[in-house]
Amino acid sequence: MFAFELKEKDNNTKARCGLITTAHGSVDTPAFMPVGTQATVKTMTPADLEGMGFQMMIVNAYHLYLRPGHKLVKELGGLQKFMGWNKSVATDSGGFQVLSLAKTRKILEHGISFQSHLDGSSHFLTPQKAVEIQEYLNSDIMMCLDECPPVEAPKEYIEKAVDRTTKWAKECKISKTDNKKALFGIVQGGIYEDLRQKSMDGLMELDFEGYSIGGLGIGEESEETYKTTEFCLNSLPENKVRYLMGIGKPADIVEAVAKGVDLFDCVIPTRNARNGNVFTNNGKIVIKNAQYSNDNLPLDEKCGCYTCKNFSRAYLRHIFLAGEFLSHRLLTLHNLYFYAILMKRIRESIAQGKFEELKHEMSAKENTKQ
């Protein structure tokens, strides 16, 4: 059971609100998916995430295939039961992780041969295997196996990766057995518009339930990211979910929403928290800085999260510098709450015809540090 319905459109931009329906609930879009790499969002419980308003998370098929194994997850009731999360789940194909984490890997026409980064064991990931893994995990939205070439790759190589990604997408669609699950094609092509168009043309012929824009945020300039995203969105069908993979700075999210993106994921809020970097309504805070050593204010006086209601900047700085695990949890909770409220504000502003005001506000705050 999968459906996508457009609800609202902004009059001045291409921002839109919609509703994704899966077998495990509804997701209001634009939406941000917290990243649960190992079937857990670091330091957070499912109750934490649900309490903030998140309706879907994304987990990593590559990692769960290697440990504890997709077959075991299926035996234990699928991801929702395994994680204690009764809402929607998306999974990636594992292709990017194979290419970036495997000790050795070789890209072949029928898949990717690689050695596990955990124990060096040999594996061969095919499009068929990628779909099987994700169906066993019982995800609601699955990704086709794709090849994401590095940003510095020659154009000739990127074109071969586009052709291979399209070929694998066809094989993924044929291999899918569960009609209740959605399968998204992944657009590749680097920063080259002709290759992006070639990728989209091949994928749209296959009529996927949604389309992911991949291969961005991997080292190209920000303007190239925006330009390529906009180019893709001008061609991708309006009645399908558009997912921008791995892009997650608050200002970047707002900018991408303005161009018509529905779905986001990124490790930025959680990874930044573990490094002591905090998002607030007045700009970023680096909590380890000495200026907060006797600061009795909350991280953000406008924030209603548990961290801001109960702890001062001075205390949070103290436990962060002391290496206490609680600092990671409290800062992560705040950053994710900030993202949840941001997405809610985005949806409300679109519905109220005030999205451009929010866009200008976020752009002004992006480079502000306290």
* Domains, the chain, ordered by start: 3-266 (3.20.20.105), 273-365 (no CATH)
| Amino acid, res. 90 | A
| Active-site pick, 10, 146, 252, 265 | 265
pLDDT of residue 370: 62
Residue whose entry in the numeric block shows the structure tokens 């009731």 = 77
The rounded distance, in Å, linking the Cα atoms of 46 and 293 is 32
| Active-site pick, 10, 92, 295, 300 | 92
The rounded distance, in Å, linking the Cα atoms of 302 and 198 is 46
pLDDT of residue 263: 98
Q: Which long-range contacts (C-beta less than 8 Å, at least 24 apart) are formed by 313-321?
A: 313/285, 313/287, 316/287, 316/292, 317/287, 317/288, 317/289, 317/292, 317/293, 320/276, 320/287, 320/288, 321/288
pLDDT of residue 98: 80
Strand partners, 58: 35, 90
Q: Which residues contact 209 (CB under 8 A, 6 or more apart)?
A: 2, 4, 141, 182, 183, 184, 240, 241
- Establish whether 119 is a catalytic residue: no
Burial of 176 (0-12, 13-18, 19+ CB in 10 A): middle
- Establish whether 146 is a catalytic residue: no
Contact 240, 212 (CB under 8 A): no
Q: Answer yes or no: pTM beyond 0.75.
A: yes
> Residue 141's Cα: distance from chain center in Å?
12
Mean pLDDT by 10 residues, the chain (370 residues): 97 97 98 97 98 98 96 98 98 87 89 93 96 98 96 96 98 97 98 98 98 95 96 98 96 97 98 98 96 98 98 98 98 98 98 94 70
| Amino acid, res. 101 | L
